Homo-oligomer: A and B are copies of this chain.
Amino acid sequence: MSDFATQSGAVTEWIERYLGNPEAYPVLAPVRPGDIAAGLPAEAPEDPEDFQSVLADFDRIIIPGITHWNHPRFFAYFGVSATPEGILAETLSATLNVNAMLWRTSPSATELEEVTLRWLGRLLGFPDDFHGVIYDTASIGGFTALAAARESLGLEIRQRGMAGRDLPALRLYITEHTHSHIEKAAIALGLGRDNVVTVGCDDRNQMLPNELEKKIRADIASGMRPMCVVATIGTTSTTSVDPVAPIARIAKDLGVWLHVDAAYAGVTAMLPEFRRHFAGIEDADSIVLNPHKWMFVPVDCSVLYVRDLGALQRTFSLVADYLVTPEEGVRNGMNYGLQLGRRFRALKLWFVLRTLGAKQIRSKLRDHIALAQELATWIENEPHWELMAPHPFSVVCFRHKPPGMPEEQLDVHNYAIIEAVNATGKVFLSSTKLDGRVVLRLSIGNIRTKRDDVALAWRLLRDAALQGTSAA
């Protein structure tokens, strides 16, 4: 057996054991800051070390400091979890190790990306004239969309820049529930936080289109330039859904770019019964969704669909002499964003789509959503617990409100509950704030999560609440 076969066999054994039973580990790494670094030497070795000993150190030193996103009771943030087939596709991609910056530097990477994103677009019911591009993260996809929105204003910003000339302030419209990567993009693109306009929401945390229109018109009246509105399908805190159709009408009327952030919930467009959330999507200029989130593709694989691929190219394309190629009319990936280097990410998307099949993906999404809905009924029916927001997908926001505890103590009490359950190592939840109040947030999205896992989390939460109440 070759060295590689031996090494790969050892890695395979490790993975088999690990993925066969991720519950064997505490979900949240039970280490203190500095613990892992302290176990490592101060210098790189001069001489080669044996692969087996590095693998042993991986298990001994690195694994104790891993928070296990694979654990079926990882309920924090949004789950990401991958199928074994997706992992092996990533191995093949690392083996080929191509940089798909140009068509000729990897024709298959470019063309498989186009084909798989057409497949995905059809599963999602997106119009055929949406063109997809894979990026590493939703942060980059959203940034790229906003950069294209800026260039589309016709102010020649690519050429002339934004400073040292007389330009109106460029305005971006979001809600308090819009993901922070959008505001980061506004910072990077030189809009400034002051020009990120927060539009109010209704009591379901959904953007109020009337208020959006009023704010845009007021900005125009004061000489500012509305650039882009971001509607979210599945916000991070509560998975609320901004009403895309009326927002799209306003955006169209007033000449504003509409970007839809559906990083988490975008995949639910595969479910006919959820299509209603996507009404108006055909009028969006750009939309982001993450197959690496809730479609069981290993990170990183985020998709940006745009109606006008040329808008990305007009923003970003720069062809240096050393990147000129003779092929004409081909898609050169480097032209659609900031990054010249591009990994072969379509490969894992292709492996996962084929080995799961669309039916299984839909059924997994429905299972997760059903579990979240069931949890919501448990919470609703339990005295002294309250749901804190609607729960259209697979995330539930709630808190414990013991009888007689004044409002100002509830935040500390609920933080204590979450830290207590996380410290058990059996579950991992994260929190957020709604209307300034601390809220527990249980998010279901891991491919291994079953009803018993959610039930155990619910039991641990009630236990911690009881102890927190009796201790108080």
Contact = CB atoms under 8 A, between A and B. Distances in A.
A160 interface: yes
Interface in A318-374: 318-324, 326-327, 329-330, 338-341, 343, 347, 350-351, 353-360
A338 B137 CA distance: 10
Contacts of A254: none
B112 A181 contact: no
Contact of A190 (B85, B87, B91, B157): B157
A352 to B, nearest CB: 10
Given A91-B87, A185-B338, A16 B43 contact: no
Interface in A135-177: 136-140, 143, 147, 156-165, 167-170
Given A46-B359, A194-B160, A94 B67 contact: no
Contact of A8 (B8, B97, B115, B120): B8
Given A11-B88, A165-B169, A140 B338 contact: yes
A136 B101 CA distance: 14
A153 to B, nearest CB: 10
Interface stretch (A199-207, A278-286, A375-383, A425-433): A425-433
Interface in A300-327: 300, 302, 315-316, 318-324, 326-327
Interface stretch (A102-110, A242-250, A401-409, A459-467): A102-110
Interface stretch (A34-42, A385-393, A449-457): A34-42
Interface in A55-84: 58, 61-70, 76-77, 80-82, 84
B338 A143 contact: yes
Interface string A224-246: 11000000000011000000000
Contacts of A179: 320
B88 A8 contact: yes
B97 A94 contact: no
A124 to B, nearest CB: 11
Interface string A11-43: 111111011100000001101011111001011
Contacts of A82: 94, 97
Contacts of A95: 15, 18-19, 70, 87
A129 interface: no
A235 to B, nearest CB: 10
Contact of A69 (B36, B68, B98, B431): B98
A141 to B, nearest CB: 10
A48 B338 contact: no
A357 B156 CA distance: 50
A111 interface: yes
A47 interface: yes
Given A119-B43, A441-B322, A80 B94 contact: no
B190 A162 contact: yes
B354 A161 contact: no
B2 A8 contact: no
Chain A to chain B: the 9 pairs with minimum beta-carbon distance, closest first = A161-B192, A164-B169, A190-B190, A65-B108, A162-B190, A44-B119, A90-B94, A137-B341, A162-B162
5 contacts: A40-B115, A43-B122, A58-B92, A82-B94, A321-B432
